[in-house]
Every structure is written in structure tokens, then in C-alpha cells.
Structure 1
């Protein structure tokens, strides 16, 4: 009997110490145990000393609430583990238990994500590292980089917290922009180039007359377009090249433009380039 009493007293002492430890230092193996805040989809475990029917594992709902025996739904989202344990203890002590002793732990942490969508090779959700450190450059690398149809100058960052959408270029993420830290729920949107599906047409005395795909970069000059169309034929008149732009006809000296080099004539989508035939 004496041994049993000592053993029971020791057990009560251990539970008391455990309760104090949970109240002051939550048993959380997360990035920061002392300050971890409970979030929706966290799975928590409640253990109540000498009350096995009250012990359970429960997932926190999107509303931030979790349901417990007798006391029902309790709003624990946004509380630290210690604060949530104290709140639950107070509710049990109020109407059901005398000096309840309990522990509250996190069994499974909700996975946090950022999204990279649009014209990337592997669009979708990217899990946040346990450390919580993820920047734009790393997220873009994880998404496999841009597709051929992406606009490298129109990448957008939409914060989960709302506010203005930031726009940046692919080249800028190699600098300070790439080190911008992301938070759970942030979205990176990679827009498709406005020039996808656009063409110019090269007709007349060229090697391969017909439509040409407009570059997604949005930059195509006359010399490059004629080169892509197979170059001038022997019958071409290089001094008489016309551009039909929405009904307006522009007459150009292709020979002078190609020799000049430093002042290219830039084409626009739907331009029709016609190389005239030489008259003998």
C-alpha cells in the first residue's frame, strides 16, 4: 500500500510537471517551438490526465475551430499551443473537471504552399520548406522555368494578404528581386506572351513565301523576317520592298536597311511584306 501511494504520488507529480511544461514551453517540433501558432489543418492531440474519454486527436477546421468532448467547438486557430492548452483547460475547469491536467501537442503540421501558375513547365503548388524560407528565384526554379510561350517581362507576384500585384522580369530575379521571400498562399503568375499566335507574311521574291510566326519577345525586324523566309531570290528588287500595315503601304529600300544595320525596321504583327520583282 505504501509503495502504491508513493507510485501514485509520483505519477501525479510527473503529470503536474508535464502540464507546467506544456503551459510554458509547447511541445512542438516546428521551426520555433515557443511561438508556433496553430493554423487550420494542423492536427493536434489532447491528453487529459485520468480522463481517457476526453483524450483525442483532432484536425483544426478552416474556421480555426476544433471540437473536443463536453466543451464542443473551441476557437484555437491563431493561438500558440500554450495559449490553446490554457483555454481548453479553463473550459474544462469551469463546468466539468476539478483542476484538470492536460497536454496539447501538434501531431501533424498543415502543409503550406505557394502557387506558380501560367506559362511555366511545371505549374502548380510548391510546398513551403519547414524553415519557411522560399524566395521567388527558388520557386521559379522548382516550377521548371518558363515555357517557350511565356512573356519573360510579365511575371507577376500576387500576395495572399492582398494589395498591389508586383510585376517583374525573368532577368530581374537573378538580382535582389529573386531574393524576395514568399509567404504561404502567395501566387506567381507567368503570363503568356501577347505575341503568341501572331504572324507576319512575307510575299513576292523570297525563297519561302508565306506566314512567319512572330517571336514571343515581340521583336522582329525586316532583315530577319526576309532571312527566315529564305532570303531574296535572283529576281528580287531589293530597293522596292513594301509593308502593308493595316491598309497603309510603306515603301522601303531593303538594300540600304540591311547595309545600315544599326537602324533596323521593326515589324508588327499582321504586317504583310512584299518583295517586288526586278524589271529588266
Structure 2
């Protein structure tokens, strides 16, 4: 059964506190805020924050000592960039809608088999940043070990393709390169990708930051150049150099 709930949206005036939480999306509201009291918002509650037709989901941090005045709201740097807000803009906050896909995650935790639509819904909610770290951990745990059948791996792969942005260059061969990772000093990508590109084979390579070692491929490459590229920038680099990292 698909249940939807209509939540009241409240408008608050934005003021930038200059807080950088890296990629974590955080919303700041004062402890005295009437909206927090009327809606039951508590610290770490995940809220929907909207401005000018755009919205995001952010974790609530409660401020004290007059850092924010009554009727004011603030955002972390990453959330500000995502919504393109400025001081004195009016933002709308509300409870987030219940996530139906969590039912599928719970089902998978109990060892059941999921189908394509269920994986589509889960991955789309993750891509829309609707999952908290706890929900993400639950999904990873549910899929770990030998808990997924071969067809489920295919369903998950297709769901990730559907949820992401796709780039096409029209070449007959587009190469990619992967390794196990997690080995300190294992910088094969920075050696292999330029070699492949120099041979005329297009190889647009995406890499992660450190997970289990002091520096991942992206961290190491960032010593030499910028690695945070938009899709348009990535396309430009690949068309010019035949590859990217």
C-alpha cells in the first residue's frame, strides 16, 4: 500500500553562518524556533529544505547562545551551493515524506529476493540523497556476502545506470579500468590511464577518495590538479586528452 502524507511547509529567513561540513548537508535552526516546537523537530531530524523550486534533504543541527535569531535558518556550505541561496532568502522546511523503498531494504535484510523495480526505487532514493547513513548502512549490510542472486546483481547494476547521468562520445571502444583497491601506494590508475589514452583509446576514469588507506586515487591526483569536474568539464577534458582521472 502506497501511503502519502501532506506536510506543512514553514518559511524561515536564511542567514549564512559560514559553516563548512564538507559534503554533509546540514540545516541549522535555533533552539527557540517555533517551527521546531510545533513540528517536533529534534537534533539530527532529516528535513526537506526548499528554495525557488529546488529542494534538498538535510540533517538538523540545533543552535544556542543566540547564534541564530527566532525566524532564522542557516545551511552548511554544501547545502548553500546546492540550493543557490543568499542572505535574507526565504527557505521552506518540512518533514520528509516516508520512504517506501525502506520496506524493500528491510525485506532484503530478512533474506528475501528483490526485483528490478524495488532496486530502482532504492537507488533513486539514494541518488536523491533521501537515505540517512543508517539506511545506507542497512542496505549495504543487506547486500553483503552472498546475499544477492546473480539476477539481483544485474537489477542493481541497471538501477545504478538509470539513476546516474550518462555520457556518450560515439566511439566504438570506450575503455575502463578497475582494481581491488584498498592497498596503500597502489597508484595503478595514474600510470595506466595516460598510457591507454596515449594509444588512442578513450578512457574516461572516475576514481574515489580514500576509504581504507591514507589517500585514494582522487586524493593523490588532486595534488597535481583539480579532480572535482562537472559533467561538462569532464567531457571537455576527455575530448581534448582522450581520457581523464
Shorter-chain TM-score range: under 0.3
Normalised to the residue count of structure 1, the TM-score between the two structures is 0.22
Whichever structure has more strand as a proportion of its residues is: 1
Q: Under a length normalisation based on structure 2, what TM-score does the superposition of the two structures give?
A: 0.24
